[in-house]
Amino acid sequence: MARYLGKETPRVDGIAKVTGQAKYAAEFQLPNLAYGFLVLSTVAKGRITRVDTAEAEGSPGVVRVFTHLNAGRLGKAGASPDGWAWPLQTDRVFFSGQPVALVVAESYEQARHAARLVRLDYQAEPHQTDLAAVLDRARLDPKSGKPGPRGDAQGALRTAAVKVEAEYRIPIEHHNPMEPHAAIAHWEGEQLTLFDKTQEVYGVRQHLAEAFGVPANKVRVVSPFVGGAFGASLKPNYYPSLTAMAARALRRPVKVVYTRTQMFTGHGYRPETIQKVALAAGRDGRLQAMVHQAFHNTSSFDTFSDSTTQFTRQVYACPNLDAPLKVAATDLATPTWMRAPGAVSGMFALESAMDELAYALGMDPLALRLANYAETDPDSGKPFSSKALRECYRLGAEKFGWSRRTPEPRSMRDGRLLVGWGMASSVWGAMQMPASARVSYRSDGTARVGSATSDIGPGTYTVMTMIAAEFLGTRLEQVQFELGDTRQPKAPAQGGSWTTSSVGSAVRGAALAVTGRLLAMAQRQAGSPLAGATAAQVELMDGRLRLKADPSRSIAVGPLMQAAGLDQVTETFEAKPSAERQKYTSLAHGAQFVEVKVDPDLGTVKVTRVIEVSACGRILNPLASHSQEIGGVVWGIGMALEEATEVDHRYGRIVNANLQHYHVPVNADIHAIETIFVEEDDAIVNPLGVKGMGELGMVGIPAAIANAVYHATGRRVRELPITPEKLL
């Protein structure tokens, strides 16, 4: 029986966070620190024709003003002289809000003031920031297009008894984490130390090594706490190289922190999406064809794809399918991954279309999904390593009271309010990436565990401490887990919901390797109670190595190590996906049931009740897991009803780059949310049997809300967010 895994466990870093002991990137203290403030371009495309920094440089406290004319070189010599691979390397402007100068001063306030005194003239060129205007330029995304169509979708569409066709749109959306992006750079000779807000310290290290042409081992990146990211810090953003360039030139530490407005062009965003979906079915509801064509924008200087249609291929049993994604260049900054990238956008369109098909058939939306339930992966034909989606549907419908739903739109009321019930399915990959961890087990029974992963909020410190304590047989407080430093063993970025499966498997492996080392030491003793035992037959528990089948056969580890002259035993372990995984498809699934209440006079929508049921393998820490799923629902509510980055295409400029006008959910928007887990016993997916959940919890929510709004009002809103003017 598990000692910790599966038990509700409060955050081990909780006290540090609420008392301010947890240090974020901008909070590290270094002597003689200078402060940088960014100047951003005011045109969307063109060239800088004149730079006047005289007034700024004469301003009190200013140390230097860096522009493309005097900035240190970044990247390989001659690399893309007309491109934008690195900041302040060219006079070309590729998007409004591109960094064009960095003012460094003795204080933040002095740098900010002087930044307003930098004068730049531009030769503007015609720009295009509207995706709809450049669809003819869109190019097939090679990754999404690689599998190609399945069967003959167009032929099946022509002959089907029932079909629906619709277009769905999602605006650009921006991550708005509480912690703004920041870096502090410090050089000692050729050795660079950088404190950064990042989801992958090794990725930033490699980025900086390339920027300055130094060996990667000369760069240390430190990021112990991240105040929210969910994709905004997956790629190395432009500010770490800029901060390190300034610090090198000035021979003193430099700090750069984004303002909230600068974050809107400083770290990427969820791209704008236009999706055209056509579904065809027989009278029995069985799908005969699915065509899901998606378009989204990227920048003019970088290709980015969020694989919008990827999961469409694997959700429902359908013989004929075509799901191409095309990407079009616009004169905006490059998009990036944002919680449930691709999946939540693609499933909004697909699950809305499935609801439209249910109405066209006169069929219950849940019954339609069950009629097309995929028992095996429709794309590869492989069996699922586990799939409890059917149970998610059953449990969610039961808890929600779905059977009491009357199917006609506008048929349910609460006084004068229109009541709508909607549902959707969700899916996300159950991935594992190569990851390493180091475990040092000390003779006093305590342990130090490390891996260069991140904790952007899901509770990585806690779950890794739990895994280590479970397999080392210690108490939680005897384990010190450390992360976010390139001095620790390499780990993948914290993204894709793969951290626990990847890093957790490495921590487990390292702990078991320590057990194996101790067993070998024990078996060298004459008359050992563990003679003949294999590593799989023994376990560590409270400072003793014992036989699982007979705990009375044990040996105290402390004296054993002391006799060998050891204070600690250290093992580093790299966990990799097993070859067995290749024979299966591994996905996490879920079902969402949503109630909305709509004011028919004002067009306001309240999400009053959500039941979310997730099947994502084994749940290691239910307390944190429920919190993750609730967070996903809240983000889904924001996406469905509030979030939109508004671009004035005349100027190619974002006009609501602040939290006053970029709306996100607040407490008053959130009502009853219940999250339920259907645990799966999956020995294939990874040694811990876990699947990621951080993104899964969001995937079906916008579609479920849109479907509920249609049920309430009879109005189908196919463009997010669903705002009052779209319902009036």
Residue 256 phi/psi, 5-degree rounding, is: -130, 130
Q: Give pLDDT, residue 145.
A: 77
CA pair distance 341, 222, nearest whole angstrom: 26
Instruction: Write down the pLDDT at residue 120.
Output: 98
Q: Cβ distance 302 to 331 under 8 Å?
A: no
The pair of three-digit structure tokens given for residue 648, joined into one six-digit string: 């004035």
User: So which residues are the catalytic ones?
Assistant: 695
pLDDT for residue 355 = 98
CB 460 within 8 A of CB 200: no
For residues 246 and 354, what is the distance between their CA atoms, to the nearest angstrom? 53
Domains of the chain by range and CATH? 1-24+175-267 (3.30.365.10), 32-127 (3.90.1170.50), 128-171+278-360 (3.30.365.10), 382-431+585-728 (3.30.365.10), 433-576 (3.30.365.10)
Q: What is the pLDDT of residue 121?
A: 98
| Paired tokens of 269 | 């965003």
How do strand 417-429 and strand 587-598 relate by DSSP bridges? antiparallel
DSSP codes of every residue in 169-229? EE--B----SSPPEEEEEEETTEEEEEE--S-HHHHHHHHHHHHT--GGGEEEE-S--S--
| H-helix or E-strand spanning residue 482 | strand 479-482
> CB within 8 A of 338, min separation 6: which ones?
173, 174, 175, 230, 231, 232, 268, 269, 270
Are the CB atoms for 434 and 509 separated by under 8 Å? no
pTM here is 0.97
pLDDT at 144: 80
- Name 194's bridge partners: 185, 221
Please write the tens of the pLDDT for every residue from 101-139: 999 999 999 999 999 999 999 999 999 999 999 999 999
Question: What pLDDT, on the 0 to 100 scale, is given for residue 207?
Answer: 98
pLDDT < 50 positions in the chain: none
What is residue 414's predicted lDDT score, i.e. its pLDDT?
98
pLDDT tens, residue by residue, 55-106: 999 999 999 999 999 999 999 865 555 678 999 999 999 999 999 999 999 9
| pLDDT, position 404 | 98
